[in-house]
């Protein structure tokens, strides 16, 4: 990690240690949101890490943003950090649109979503219905991609004029459906999308963000499980002394480290944008790691892990949702496999043996 | 190993048909299936089921029951669980407390409780686990002290499923101090009225947000002598007795079956992709084979055998299957699931993702079962 990255994550971790305790996360579940945490993060410029300073962002690169998201994942932070910089902020900045005040989210394009933009400068209109938008109703703006006359546009859609059907994922994080019914848009809310700003790129960034959140959460799951099984006594000794429990601890540690390094390599190879192989591989690895490690951690914890308020449950419920958002490990594995098969046998090993590429 | 393939007799098949007809009539076509025996709590359903003679089947007629075989109980249980019937109110009393009372209870206790259990009207919880005693059950600290006419009990039980709705629970406690090297001695089971003075029941929110678990604090709760279950000092033998072998029934492998059925229903009429078909096929095959093992244990019980290892193996493989099914279907469906929204399949999948870690914990963890089973294999 660069020095800048390390400083960033230390400041963020300090802030979250104070403002995002397990008790704060429990309290935030009622609304799916922590105002205090968001304000503090926004004050420090964290939401727009990886968005260039010239356009009002906080600077830094994709690796910095991912390092920050790993911290957010570790603390189960109930705020749309992954959506603001890596996704919405990136698209807005690339298209020359303003970065709004307050949280901003994105609709990356899901089956069944409808986005119709019509008109032109001075008379833009939007009709859209997009599902499972993270913190959709909380956000001031939601970024959409839309085509008009064959040309792709970035839209910064104001949520104040949207109809909202609230939804929640398994961790009670907001995943709202938003609809705009023939709403006029200001010229400042629409711009042509430059090359590279497209649904595939959004999906890659979305998946990388989820992978980073997962990797951070898994580090915490590993720590919690080691701590708990070291303290929990049964049959006169800590349960961590039983081989069967040790097997779980080792599994969790392995998966957490696989996830952490996969994300680090994928993020650091993003110069400036994340690449398909890196993201597909990282998403596949982290999705599997989330599944395997959550199962082992619950098994090692016993009944205490099944309580809603214990920290493990806060993390595992997020892992179970995040692993499926922006594509499950199976979906990414399949896409990756198709491309690898297409490239042929002799390309396979060179591809696998290309890890972190030097800058 | 005494697993052997067995068929259902014509009488058992016709019992199955009766249960299916009953379920078709009782469960609305759009009912939301329960996942497993603890999935839904519905006293009305329990009473209706009892009216058909399908609760208290292990209890002899003189105590209001039906004196049916283990296989007959198996047949009824598997139909109920496969359909996702709401059996949470009576199931524990029926599976666990009834047989325990029958074996170890006094004549007076049998007359007092068994008819109500068989009628689907008296519901029991299990008072075993404590904050510091889970797998190591013999370390329980809840203690009963001798007083005039009975005992006073003080201690804290946790994870007590449905204590907030049930009537009684069987409390494992110390009736004499632990002696070095003899930790299984001095334990007893007492039947405690969950509404008695000194009993405080507090909810512990479950992972999916529901109220399932409780902490039950007992503070000088008076338990009269006639509520001592079995012998004073025999609590350990009673909770680990051969009755435990009867606890490897369909409730240990069918908890998530309704998720599979709804997945298939959702795909009905559409072309099934190759890999989805593979998942459905493999899960069905596995369920079919596990059922054969589980049924063979029931048949062995009816033959008077004590298939202890077989039962432990069925529970171990069965509860793992219940979890694997959830993951396999999540993979196949490639859908994001949220609680309470989406199709019935998606809603059940969300519930299963949140609750499935418990299958390999409740009633003895996989790790403990393995050590029991491995000792028997040696
Ligand atoms: C849904 C649900 C409902 C429940 N309902 C009830 C109820 O109604 N009444 C009741 O009394 N209890 C109930 N329980 C509690 C259940 O019986 C316990 O969870 C179980 O006995 C395990 O105890 P524990 O959770 O304290 O885990 P621990 O015993 O603390 O185990 C932690 C980990 O250590 C492992 N471990 C412990 N000892 C050993 C060993 N010797 N060798 C290898 N590994 C070991 C375990 O397998 C586990 O992985 C319920 C539990 C669940 C999940």
Distance, CA of B124 to CA of B119 (rounded, Å): 13
Within chain A, residue ranges assigned H as helices are 3-19, 22-28, 35-43, 62-74, 81-83, 90-95, 199-231, 243-268, 276-301, 311-322, 329-343, 345-352
Domain A3-192 has CATH 2.40.160.50: no
Residue in A132, A234, A316 nearest the CB of B135: A234
Chain B nearest-CA residue for A168: B338
Distance, CA of B299 to CA of B70 (rounded, Å): 7
| pLDDT at residue A242, as a whole number | 98
CB A64 within 8 A of CB A4: yes
| pLDDT at residue A1, as a whole number | 55
pLDDT at B1 over 90: no
- A281, A341, A352 from A346: Cα distances, Å: 19, 10, 11
Distance, CA of B262 to CA of B34 (rounded, Å): 12
pLDDT at B376 over 90: no
Q: pLDDT tens for residues B129-138?
A: 999 999 999 9
Strand extents, DSSP E, B93-166: 124-127, 143-147, 150-157
The residue among A249, A254, A275, A252 whose CA lies nearest residue A355 is A275
Burial of A216 (0-12, 13-18, 19+ CB in 10 A): buried
- DSSP annotation of A100: P
- A113, A122, A337, B39, B182 from A108: Cα distances, Å: 9, 26, 23, 36, 64
* Residue B180, min C-alpha distance to chain A (Å): 13
- Residue contact A330–B365, C-beta within 8 A: no
Q: Can you read off the two tokens belonging to residue A329?
A: 């490990």
Report how far ligand 1's centroid is from the alpha carbon of A303 (Å): 6
- DSSP annotation of A193: P
Within chain B, residue ranges assigned H as helices are 10-26, 43-51, 70-83, 91-92, 98-104, 107-118, 235-239, 257-266, 274-302, 308-333, 344-355, 366-377
pLDDT mean over B241-256: 85
| pLDDT at residue A3, as a whole number | 73
- DSSP annotation of A116: E
Say whether the ipTM exceeds 0.90. yes
Domains of chain B: 10-122 (1.10.540.10), 126-233 (2.40.110.10), 247-377 (1.20.140.10)
CB A93 within 8 A of CB A99: yes
User: B2 falls in which pLDDT band (50, 70, 90)?
Assistant: confident
Residue B180, number of CB atoms within 10 A of its CB:
5
Residue ranges of chain A that CATH labels 1.20.140.10? 199-353
* Residue B207, min C-alpha distance to chain A (Å): 4
Distance, CA of A66 to CA of A276 (rounded, Å): 16
The CATH class that applies to domain A199-353 reads: mainly alpha
- B206, B221, B264, B358 from A26: Cα distances, Å: 13, 34, 36, 21
- Residue contact B365–A299, C-beta within 8 A: yes
| Residue B261 φ/ψ region, left for φ over 0, alpha for ψ in the -120 to 50 degree band, beta for the rest | alpha
Q: pLDDT tens for residues B103-131?
A: 999 999 999 999 999 999 999 999 999 99
| pLDDT at residue B244, as a whole number | 74
Q: Going residue by residue through chain A (359 aa), what tens digit of pLDDT does each one get?
A: 567 778 899 999 999 999 999 999 999 999 999 999 999 999 999 999 999 999 999 999 999 999 999 999 999 999 999 999 999 999 999 999 999 989 999 999 999 999 999 999 999 999 999 999 999 999 999 999 999 989 999 999 999 999 999 999 999 999 999 999 999 999 999 999 999 999 999 999 999 999 999 999 999 999 999 999 999 999 999 999 999 999 999 999 999 999 999 999 999 999 999 999 999 999 999 999 999 999 999 999 999 999 998 999 999 999 999 999 999 999 999 999 999 999 999 999 999 999 999 87
CB B354 within 8 A of CB A170: yes
Instruction: Provide residues of A within 8 Å CB-CB of chain B.
Output: 132, 167-170, 175, 233-236, 239, 242, 244-245, 291, 294-295, 298-299, 302-303, 305-309, 313, 316-317, 320-321, 324-325, 328, 330-331
How many residues are recorded in chain A?
A: 359
Chain A nearest-CA residue for B347: A170
- Annotate A222-247 with three-state secondary structure: HHHHHHHHHHCEECCEEHHHCHHHHH
The chain-wide mean pLDDT, for chain B, equals 95
- Residue contact A299–B357, C-beta within 8 A: yes
Distance, CA of A231 to CA of A244 (rounded, Å): 16
| pLDDT at residue A164, as a whole number | 98
Distance, CA of B99 to CA of B56 (rounded, Å): 9
Q: Which residue pairs from A68-72 have beta carbons closer than 8 angstroms and sit at least 24 positions apart in sequence? A: A68/A8, A68/A9, A68/A12, A69/A209, A69/A212, A69/A213, A69/A216, A70/A9, A70/A212, A70/A213, A70/A215, A70/A216, A70/A219, A70/A260, A70/A263, A71/A9, A71/A12, A71/A13, A71/A16, A71/A216, A72/A12, A72/A16, A72/A213, A72/A216
Q: Can you read off the two tokens belonging to residue A68?
A: 């920050």
Report how far ligand 1's centroid is from the alpha carbon of B23 (Å): 33
Instruction: Name chain A contacts of B161, Cβ cutoff 8 Å.
Output: none
User: Which residues, at least 6 apart from B85, have a Cβ–Cβ distance to it below 8 Å?
Assistant: B23, B26, B27, B33, B34, B40, B45, B49
- Residue contact A244–B327, C-beta within 8 A: no
Residue ranges of chain A that CATH labels 2.40.110.10? 3-192
- A36, A123, A316, B70, B301 from B304: Cα distances, Å: 66, 84, 44, 10, 5
Ligand 1 atom at minimal distance to the Cα of residue A301:
32
Distance, CA of B155 to CA of B159 (rounded, Å): 14
Distance, CA of B248 to CA of A347 (rounded, Å): 51
* Residue A62, min C-alpha distance to chain B (Å): 26
């Amino acid at each position: 990690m660069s020095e800048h990255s390390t400083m960033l994550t230390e400041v963020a971790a300090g802030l979250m240690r104070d403002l995002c305790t397990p008790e704060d996360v429990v309290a935030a579940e009622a609304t799916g949101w922590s105002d205090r945490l968001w304000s503090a993060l926004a004050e420090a410029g964290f939401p727009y890490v990886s968005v260039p300073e010239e356009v009002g962002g906080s600077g830094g690169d994709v690796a910095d943003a991912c390092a920050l998201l790993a911290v957010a994942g570790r603390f189960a932070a109930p705020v749309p950090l992954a959506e603001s910089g890596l996704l919405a902020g990136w698209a807005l900045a690339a298209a020359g649109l303003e970065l709004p005040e307050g949280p901003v989210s994105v609709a990356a394009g899901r089956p069944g979503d409808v986005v119709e933009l019509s008109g032109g400068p001075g008379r833009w209109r939007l009709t859209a219905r997009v599902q499972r938008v993270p913190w959709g109703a909380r956000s001031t703006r939601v970024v959409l991609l839309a085509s008009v006359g064959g040309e792709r546009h970035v839209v910064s859609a104001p949520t104040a004029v949207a109809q909202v059907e609230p939804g929640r994922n398994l961790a009670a994080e907001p995943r709202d459906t938003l609809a705009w019914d023939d709403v006029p848009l200001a010229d400042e809310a629409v711009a042509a999308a430059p090359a590279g700003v497209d649904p595939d790129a959004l999906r890659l960034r979305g998946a990388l963000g989820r992978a980073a959140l997962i990797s951070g959460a898994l580090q915490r799951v590993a720590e919690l499980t080691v701590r708990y099984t070291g303290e929990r006594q049964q049959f006169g000794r800590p349960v961590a002394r039983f081989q069967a429990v040790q097997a779980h601890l080792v599994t969790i540690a392995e998966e957490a480290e696989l996830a952490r390094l996969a994300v680090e390599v994928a993020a650091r190879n993003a110069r400036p944008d994340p690449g398909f192989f890196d993201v597909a591989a990282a998403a596949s690895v982290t999705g599997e790691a989330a599944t395997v490690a959550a199962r082992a951690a619950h098994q090692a914890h016993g009944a205490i892990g099944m309580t809603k308020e214990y920290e493990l449950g806060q993390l595992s419920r997020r892992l179970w949702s995040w692993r499926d958002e922006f594509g499950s490990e199976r979906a990414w594995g399949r896409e990756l496999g198709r491309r690898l098969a297409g490239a042929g046998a002799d390309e396979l090993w060179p591809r696998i043996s290309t890890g972190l590429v030097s800058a | 190993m005494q697993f052997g393939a067995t068929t259902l007799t014509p009488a058992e098949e016709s019992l199955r048909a009766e249960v299916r007809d009953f379920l078709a009539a009782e469960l609305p076509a759009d009912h939301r299936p329960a996942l497993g025996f603890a999935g839904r709590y519905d006293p009305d359903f329990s009473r209706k089921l009892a009216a058909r003679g399908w609760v208290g089947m292990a209890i002899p007629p003189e105590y209001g029951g039906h004196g049916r075989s283990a296989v007959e109980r198996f047949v009824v249980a598997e139909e109920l669980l496969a359909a996702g019937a709401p059996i949470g109110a009576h199931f524990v009393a029926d599976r666990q407390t009834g047989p325990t009372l029958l074996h170890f209870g006094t004549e007076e206790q049998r007359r007092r409780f068994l008819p109500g259990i068989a009628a689907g009207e008296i519901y029991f919880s299990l008072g075993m686990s404590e904050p510091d005693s889970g797998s190591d059950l013999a370390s329980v600290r809840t203690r009963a002290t001798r007083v005039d006419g009975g005992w006073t009990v003080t201690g804290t039980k946790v994870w007590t499923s449905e204590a907030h709705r049930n009537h009684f629970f069987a409390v494992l406690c110390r009736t004499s101090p632990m002696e070095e090297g003899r930790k299984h001695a001095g334990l007893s089971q007492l039947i405690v009225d969950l509404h008695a003075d000194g009993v405080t029941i507090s909810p512990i929110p479950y992972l999916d947000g529901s109220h399932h678990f409780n902490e039950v604090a007992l503070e000088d709760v008076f338990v009269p002598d006639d509520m001592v279950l079995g012998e004073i000092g025999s609590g350990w033998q009673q909770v680990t007795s051969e009755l435990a072998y009867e606890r490897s029934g369909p409730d240990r492998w069918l908890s998530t079956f309704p998720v599979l059925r709804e997945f298939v229903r959702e795909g009905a009429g559409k072309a099934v992709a190759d890999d989805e078909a593979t998942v459905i096929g493999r899960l069905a095959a596995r369920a079919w084979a596990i059922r054969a093992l589980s049924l063979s244990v029931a048949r062995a019980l009816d033959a008077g055998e004590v298939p202890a290892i077989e039962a432990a193996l069925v529970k171990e493989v069965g509860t793992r299957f219940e979890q694997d099914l959830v993951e396999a279907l999540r993979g196949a469906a490639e859908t994001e699931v949220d609680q309470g929204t989406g199709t019935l399949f998606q809603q059940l999948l969300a519930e299963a993702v949140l609750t499935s870690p418990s299958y390999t914990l409740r009633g003895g963890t996989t790790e403990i079962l393995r050590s029991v089973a491995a000792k028997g294999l040696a």
